[in-house]
Amino acid sequence: MARLLSVNVGLPRDIDWKGRTVRTGIWKTPVPGRCRVGRLNLAGDGQGDLAGHGGEQRAVFVYQIESYRHWQDQLNRTDFVHGQFGENFTIEGLPDDAVCIGDRYRIGSALFEVTQPRVTCYRVGIRVNEPRMPALLTSSGRPGFYFRVLREGDVGAGDDIVKEEEASERMTVAEINALLYSPDHPRDRLERALRIEALSAGWRRSFEAILQSQVTGAAGGNAGLAPAAAAHPVAPGFRPLAITAIDRESADVVSLTMRDPDGRPLPAARPGQYVVLRLRPPAAASPLFRSYSLSGPVSSEQRRISVKLELDGAAGAYLHHHVQVGDIIDVSSPRGNFFLQSGDRPVVLMSAGIGATPVLAMLHALAEAGATSRILWLHAARDSRHHPFAAEVRRLMRGLSRGRSHVCYSRPGMSDRIGEDFDASGHLSRSVFDEVGMPREADVYLCGPTRFMADMKQALAAYGVAPERVHLELFNGGESRTPGVVGAVIRAPHPLAEDAGAGPLVSFARSGVAAHWDASAYQSILELAEACDVPVRWACRSGVCHSCESGLISGAIAYGPTPLDMPADGNLLICCSRPAGDVVIDL
């Protein structure tokens, strides 16, 4: 009979790791005597990162002594103690290849249900002092599993573990683990997994995403793991396009229209996506890479981007003052996950300044489609001199049967006419939402400066718009996701203080910085990005979770270690990759 060998608890603590402070509850120590099991936790226990651990579906983590022995042999270790892997219950018996999701067990006076395998992250590597541990646990089929507490009670070391009920759909922890993380995702097994009522919601969403990608014929990658930012990969590389028109939109914005010089059709684009330009100003030591949203109607014949002149913007200054009609520019395929979704819900296009560019492309698409749902255009500008696309937007709005526009000027000029050039002085705010009667069920597409985006997100939440209805475009490459790291100072992306000056050049296109690769200083592109304070996403740091999956705009990379499941073509995992020559990354 299976047996509970040790009950382990621990409260979150701050630890030093690679010059950062990490808050984690992975340090667990055995409890003498009996321990009370609550619905969400054991007495005296806590989780440092509730996004990845804890909650009803992950109340108790279980790991087997047999797996301890396996890792002692594999790692040549003799120093493991109960709780070493962050588990609450160290048990004997119930291996991952025998326990099924949905099985129910009685331990002491408490009743438990198996809900999911463990999702490993970098913190188990810290605790075991083995950075490869997240990948090793997952690839070995020995992840351990989580219990949901069906009946609260008391447990203690030495208690028998008694199976009370078997799940009707028999899929083991190891099978479910492999179904998500291995390259093999058979449709019949995905459908079986989704019939398991006890399977936790997060794993269910991952399997549904993989199944949907198979239905739609999405090419490659793991849709159950890839973050939204990497969900629409495109082929790497640049294509030379000719500038066919340059139009001034406002005092500081010009639009560039580009076509294939040989008249060949352009790759498909979605309204709201962006392209990356590779620019070669004469005075620049290396190419500049900049991302610009497509601001015109979707077309297979031409691309239009609109560029604001910034005081310290090298790329913007080059495009404003030096590029001429007839010049050739290298342009990537359209990319990005900020684009107009299909459906008949109301649509709100909200922007400030040059943030109008992606939502303007959406407005073109809605007008061309003759949308009959409610369409709101909400825009903030300084004054009419700094209000690009004003006439274009008015023309498009007239073609929408249920369209309404509301424009705010923060500092209207003496000649600016309220009711004609703009609708109100000041800024967009919650009161404007009430004034224009914004539907709370609308899909909201939001783009603009960082402070504007933060204020609007807060105002939309207060107004009652569901978070999943708010779609954001972040010009600076996105928000960081660094689970457990606390107190970090947010810095703007920057070149290395001491660049090697040789080796492959790694360019982070969305952040506008580049650095030479120094193999003696960095183990991965992720570490180089962190040294440049480029916004990054990660969790396992060992090629398992795909949180760091990003677009590969150009170049080639090499992996070490090899990911458990390769990303889609056109993407890479920055946590375990190194440049094989000059590369451009969509970060």
Q: What is the mean pLDDT of the segment spanning 173-201? A: 96
| pLDDT for residue 439 | 95
Tokens, residue 248: 């001034």
ω before 561 within 30° of 0 (cis)? yes
Q: Which of 13-17, 268-272, 466-470, 477-481 has the lowest mean pLDDT?
A: 477-481
pLDDT at 442 over 80: yes
Task: State residue 301's pLDDT score.
Answer: 96
Given a cut of 80, whether residue 479 has pLDDT beyond it is: no
Instruction: For residue 262, give every residue at least 6 positions away whose Cβ sits within 8 Å of its Cβ, in sequence order, or none.
Output: none
Q: Give me the pLDDT at residue 374, please.
A: 96
pLDDT at 231 over 70: yes
Name the pLDDT band for 275 (thresholds 50, 70, 90): very high
- When pLDDT is cut at 50, 70 and 90, the band that residue 476 belongs to is low
**pLDDT tens digit string along 349-404?**
999 999 999 999 999 999 999 999 999 999 999 999 999 999 999 999 999 999 99
Contact 200, 58 (CB under 8 A): yes
The 10 Å Cβ neighbour count of residue 56 is: 12
pLDDT band at 40 (very low <50, low <70, confident <90, very high): very high
60 forms beta bridges with: 147
d(CA 148, CA 62): 11
Band (pLDDT 50/70/90 cuts) for residue 474 is confident
Joined together, the tokens standing for residue 215 give: 């239905």
Quick check: 236 pLDDT over 70? yes
Nearest to 528 by CA among 545, 565, 503: 503
Distance in angstroms (rounded) separating the CA atoms of residues 368 and 296: 12
pLDDT for residue 477 = 61
Confidence (pLDDT) at 219:
64
State the Cα–Cα distance between residues 449 and 453, nearest whole angstrom: 6
Q: Which residues of 430-463 are buried (b: 16+ CB within 10 A; e: fewer)?
A: bebbeebebbeebbbbbbbbeebbebbbebbeee
Q: What is the mean pLDDT of residues 33-49?
A: 93
CA atoms 76, 80, 84, 87: torsion sign = positive
Q: Beta strands of 38-125 (E only): which ranges? A: 60-64, 89-92, 104-107, 110-117
Query: Which tokens sit at 282?
Result: 């004469």
C-alpha span between 390 and 379 (Å, rounded)? 10
Q: What's residue 115's pLDDT?
A: 98
**Pick from 444, 550, 573: which is nearest to 229 by CA?**
550
**pTM of the full structure:** 0.92
Give the pLDDT score at 52: 75
Mean pLDDT for 73-90 is: 96
pLDDT digits (tens, 9 = 90+) for 503-542: 999 999 999 899 999 999 999 999 999 999 999 999 999 9
| Parallel/antiparallel/unpaired status of strands 288-293 and 302-308 | unpaired
Instruction: Return d(Cα 467, Cα 461) in angstroms, integer.
Output: 7
Query: Regarding beta strands 577-579 and 557-559, do their DSSP bridges make them parallel or antiparallel, or are they unpaired?
Result: antiparallel
Which residues, listed in sequence order, are joined to residue 275 by a DSSP beta bridge?
Answer: 292
pLDDT digits (tens, 9 = 90+) for 304-329: 999 998 877 888 888 888 999 999 99
Query: What average pLDDT is seen over the chain?
Result: 94
* Mean pLDDT computed over 10-16: 95
- Mean pLDDT on 244-267: 96
Pick from 213-227, 434-448, 536-550: least confident:
213-227
Q: Is the pLDDT of residue 1 over 90?
A: no
Could you please report the per-residue DSSP string of 229-273?
Answer: GGSS-----EEEEEEEEEEEEETTEEEEEEE-TT-PPPPP--TT-
The span from the CA of 247 to the CA of 263, in Å, is: 21
Q: What are phi and psi of 244, to 5 degrees?
A: -110, -15
Instruction: Summarize the confidence of residues 247-259 as an average pLDDT.
Output: 96
Q: Please, which pLDDT band fits residue 217 given cuts at 50, 70 and 90?
A: confident
The length of the chain in residues reads 587
Instruction: Please answer whether residues 245 and 324 qualify as being in contact, where contact means their C-beta atoms are separated by less than 8 angstroms.
Output: no
DSSP string, 422-435: BSEES---HHHHHH
pLDDT at 143 over 70: yes
Least-confidence region, from 34-38, 140-144, 196-200, 278-282: 278-282
Helix axis angle for 201-216 and 187-194, nearest 10°, is 150
Q: Given pLDDT bands bounded at 50, 70 and 90, which one contains residue 282? A: confident
Residue 265 reports pLDDT greater than 90: yes
